[in-house]
């Protein structure tokens, strides 16, 4: 099996444009929002407890995902955002490993991780990662961390 690595990043890698093009081709616009918000300074995943992580295989960007303070909940809640894995790398545990790294990071500061997805594939993926469905108006899935 190919070895990939997950790294916390402080800058958007230039390869994000390739990943964005693929995501848009699949009907997903959230990487476009990631790039737009990053360049405008709206969200750089740099508040306390936040981070942006990337998955690399042979120095090629194959996945990305962020963790931010959830704007729809109290400050003990993090929000998983902009998680995307290149189609060619799916089924190789890249997404699971990326989400696990983000959850481990979240556990250092937050008690809850929330997210929203609108696809059945996303629902299945996040449930497989340990998230539970929720009927909250601003989240589809939730995970309680530690003693929460």
**Domain holding 92: CATH number?**
3.40.630.30
Q: Whole domain around residue 37: which residue ranges?
A: 5-144
pTM: 0.94
Helix H or strand E segment including 97: helix 94-106
Bridge-based pairing state of the strands 112-115 and 77-85: parallel
What does each of the 148 residues of the chain score in pLDDT, given as a tens digit? 568 999 999 999 999 999 999 999 999 999 999 999 999 999 999 999 999 999 999 999 999 999 999 999 987 999 999 999 999 999 999 999 999 999 999 999 999 999 999 999 999 999 999 999 999 999 999 999 976 4
* Strand order from edge to edge, sheet including 5-9: 5-9, 51-57, 60-69, 77-85, 112-115, 141-144, 132-133
Domain tally, the chain: 1
């Amino acid at each position: 099996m190919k070895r990939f690595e997950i790294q916390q990043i402080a800058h958007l890698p230039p390869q994000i444009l390739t990943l964005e093009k693929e995501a848009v081709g699949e009907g997903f616009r959230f990487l476009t929002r990631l790039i737009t918000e990053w360049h405008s300074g709206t969200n750089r995943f740099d508040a306390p407890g936040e981070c942006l992580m990337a998955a690399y295989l042979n120095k090629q960007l194959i996945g990305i995902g962020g963790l931010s303070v959830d704007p729809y909940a109290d400050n003990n809640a993090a929000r998983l955002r902009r998680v995307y894995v290149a189609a060619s790398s799916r089924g190789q545990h890249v997404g699971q490993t990326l989400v696990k790294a983000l959850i481990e990071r979240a556990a250092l500061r937050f008690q809850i991780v929330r997210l929203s997805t609108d696809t059945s594939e996303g629902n299945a993926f996040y449930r497989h990662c340990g998230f539970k469905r929720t009927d909250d108006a601003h989240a589809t899935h939730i995970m309680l961390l530690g003693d929460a």
